[in-house]
């Protein structure tokens, strides 16, 4: 479900200690690691791991466990980055509608010449044409500028920020 993030979200940031960070890093390297395996690798009690994971999940620091796919091997041949200029007062409505499309992976509010940026993956030029004409030029969108990614230099999951 689409969420419209508000500025005060950063005030709700959870303080992560070194053990929390180590658990998260281990799971980011292997989301299938068992609690027993984590306890062994981090040299802490199994109960400690269980309690920490429960807290991290309850606080939505860990939102789920997933598989990382190779986009090309599952049929996503192209990545597109689209800047959108959205009619005044229609931002949330338009972003919600766009976010529902299965090809759209990210929707951002941004500053600058455009109001929103969309990152999507498409199967081929026909799919791109359908996305552009069916979704990215729909009601409430004044202008769009589509960039086709030629080469992906880096594409990773969200990582922990470096501890200051």
Q: What are phi and psi of 94, to 5 degrees?
A: -65, -45
User: What is the per-residue pLDDT for 41?
Assistant: 96
Can you list the residues of the chain whose pLDDT is less than 50? 1-11
Q: What is the pLDDT of residue 157?
A: 80
Where helices occur in 8-160 by DSSP H, the ranges are: 18-29, 35-42, 46-58, 91-99, 125-134
User: Class of the 16-68 domain?
Assistant: mainly alpha
- CATH for the stretch 71-148: 3.30.70.920
Q: What pLDDT was estimated at residue 66? A: 86
Q: Sketch the domain layout of the chain as residue ranges.
A: 16-68, 71-148
């Amino acid at each position: 479900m689409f969420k419209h993030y508000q500025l005060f979200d950063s005030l709700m940031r959870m303080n992560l200690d070194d053990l929390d960070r180590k658990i998260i890093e281990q799971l980011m390297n292997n989301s299938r690691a068992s609690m027993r395996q984590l306890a062994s690798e981090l040299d802490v009690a199994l109960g400690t791991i269980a309690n920490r994971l429960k807290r991290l999940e309850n606080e939505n620091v860990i939102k789920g466990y997933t598989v990382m796919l190779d986009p090309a091997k599952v049929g996503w041949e192209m990545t597109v980055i689209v800047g959108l200029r959205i009619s005044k007062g229609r931002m949330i409505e338009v972003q919600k509608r766009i976010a529902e499309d299965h090809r759209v992976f990210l929707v951002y509010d941004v500053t600058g010449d455009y109001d929103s940026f969309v990152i999507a993956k498409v199967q081929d030029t026909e799919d791109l044409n359908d996305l552009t004409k069916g979704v990215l030029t729909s009601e409430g969108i004044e202008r769009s500028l589509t960039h086709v990614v030629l080469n992906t230099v880096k594409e990773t999951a969200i990582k922990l920020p470096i501890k200051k």
